[in-house]
Amino acid sequence: MSWLDFFRANRKPEPDSAAQAKERLQILLAHERIGRTREDFLPRLQQDLVAVVARYVAIDPAKVNVALDRGNDISTLAIEIELPSVRSAPAGAVEAARA
């Protein structure tokens, strides 16, 4: 072992990755334990939402984005639906929206 190695071995350790592992697991498992008894509702939520919005605006189901961010205290669910530009909206949809 050289003198340099000796000093290197005594350097302060890198930030603690084990602590991050613990925190990530605690958040994840808290959610997974709740969801264990019922099936994942997100796909159905997305379907329902698209159906409701489609009653008013013509939307492309492929242009719907659902993003979930599970946090410690709060979780957020972001739903992004791309609306067609006014010009490309089919007449039927505008009619339906007025009805």
Partner 1 sequence: MAQVIVVTSGKGGVGKTTTSAAFATGLAQAGKKTVVIDFDVGLRNLDLIMGVERRVVFDIVNVIQGEARLNQALIRDKRIENLSILPASQTRDKDALTKEGVNEIIEELSKDNDFILCDSPAGIEKGALLALYFADHAIVVTNPEVSSVRDSDRILGVLQSKSKRAEEKRDKVKEHLLVTRYDPNRVERGEMLKLEDVREILAIPLLGVIPENESVLRASNTGMPVILDGESIAGQAYKDAVSRFLGQELPHRFLEPEKKPGLLRRLFGGRAA
Report in angstroms how near the CB of residue 71 gets to partner 1 at its nearest.
18
Among 8, 29, 47, 90, contact with partner 1 (rule: CB under 8 A): 29
Name the nearest CA neighbour of 32 among 79, 80, 78, 75: 75
27 or 50, CB closer to partner 1? 27
C-alpha to C-alpha distance for 48 and 42, rounded to whole angstroms: 10
C-alpha to C-alpha distance for 1 and 5, rounded to whole angstroms: 6
- Which residues of the chain form contacts with partner 1 (CB under 8 A)? 1, 6, 13-19, 21-22, 24-26, 28-29, 32-33, 36
